[in-house]
Amino acid sequence: MSRLPVLTIYSLLYFVLLASLAGCEQPPSFKWQLQSQATATSIDFIELKKMVANIKLMSNGRLDISAHHGGVITGGPDIYTAVKEGRIQMGSGWPNWWSGQHPAWAVMNAGPFDFMNIDASMMFFLAGDGTRLANELASPDGVVWRPAWWPGMEFGLLSAHPVLGIKDLKGKKVRIGPGLPSEVLAAATGAYAIPLVPDEIKPALENGDLDAVEWTTTAGAWNLGLSNITKHAIVPAIWQPSVLADFLINKQAYDALPEDLKAILETAIKSYTLSTTLINKNQDFVALQAFKDKGTVISSWSDEDLAKWRQASDKILKEYASKDDFTKRLIEAKQAYKAKYNKYYQLFGPYD
């Protein structure tokens, strides 16, 4: 019985190996850019970097997302446009900043006397109609929308000089995000609303171009270093009581992902939502004490001021509802959910 030469056997094995490798195509990989509005040292950006690292790990490097803090590629309202145009695959910011795209984005976030509790807003977007409505608005632009995290009630207005009520704001220059909150502030107080991005806030406050600042929550204001410039605060931030951040994803880029990478991305986003919301809120407790320890004088709005805020808010909200059918439906959906929430918690609210 003849035997094949050893060299021939190795040659056969080599060609069998090549054939098997040719039949095993490597799964596709994707590199994305994610532009955030957050500052580099903020908790939400730190958690964002953890999120993209976990996505890379879980996908074995097949979905590699580079996260950039505010202003690196673009910033402010252009984040939405950049995602829409495909200049970046993903963005993160605040819904009211996209109001230049459609007026409904101004009320997608929490306006004055909107959801007054963070859990009401979370339930509306995560279990109710909120995310479906947001995607109905974003889809024609080729954008996939997801809630990112909930700062909840913002801190208030911080200033170098005392602001004790509405009367002290007339004619003053106030940094506040665009959309419904800024419009209500201007109407209620007579102040000038200026929507500066984070890296512009401190210089403007230091050189006198701003008289007062709202910047997210207590922890956000502390991390931005506002305690070094401001010694007074008036609370609460009734213009955005249960504010949320959002993710924007280019639909073409999203649709190109295989189902397993979509599942990894969606799961990582939900994990980010929970951890970032709770970590930030816990840090708000720490930051509030830090402001007090540094001597920040904290005042509250009077009942008379609150009535003026509500009057201005109701008037402007009616104007928004009259702009188009979608904005009207969004406002009505949020109000209906709030009524259902309030009815339940009349019986099952705090007891202590």
The pairing of strands 173-175 and 232-235 is unpaired
Amino acid at the residue 65: I
Prediction pTM value: 0.86
CB under 8 A, 24+ apart: contacts of 24-27 = 27/62, 27/258
**Residue 169 belongs to domain spanning:** 157-241+296-346
Which residues lie below 8 Å from residue 257, measured CB to CB, with a gap of 6+? 30, 63, 265
- Whether residue 317 is contained in a domain is answered as yes
Same domain, 146 and 178: no
* Residue 267: CATH number of its domain: 3.40.190.170
- Whether residue 94 is contained in a domain is answered as yes
Same domain, 215 and 255: no
pLDDT at res. 14? 54
- Whether residue 291 is contained in a domain is answered as no
Same domain, 165 and 107: no
pLDDT at res. 19? 46
Same domain, 91 and 146: yes
Tell which residue, 270, 268, 288, 291, has the closest CA to residue 280: 288
332 pairs with which residues across the strands? none
- Whether residue 168 is contained in a domain is answered as yes
Same domain, 88 and 199: no
Same domain, 200 and 325: yes
Tens digits of pLDDT across the chain (352 residues): 455 555 455 555 555 454 454 456 789 999 999 999 999 999 999 999 999 999 999 999 999 999 999 999 999 999 999 999 999 999 999 999 999 999 999 999 888 899 988 999 999 999 999 999 999 999 999 999 999 999 988 899 999 999 999 999 999 999 998 888 889 999 999 999 998 888 899 999 999 999 999 988 899 899 989 999 999 999 999 888 899 999 999 999 999 999 999 999 999 999 999 999 999 999 999 999 999 999 999 999 999 999 999 999 999 999 999 999 999 999 999 999 999 999 999 998 877 6
- Whether residue 204 is contained in a domain is answered as yes
pLDDT at res. 335? 95
pLDDT at res. 127? 97
Same domain, 78 and 215: no
- What tokens appear for 75 in the block? 């910033």
pLDDT at res. 31? 98
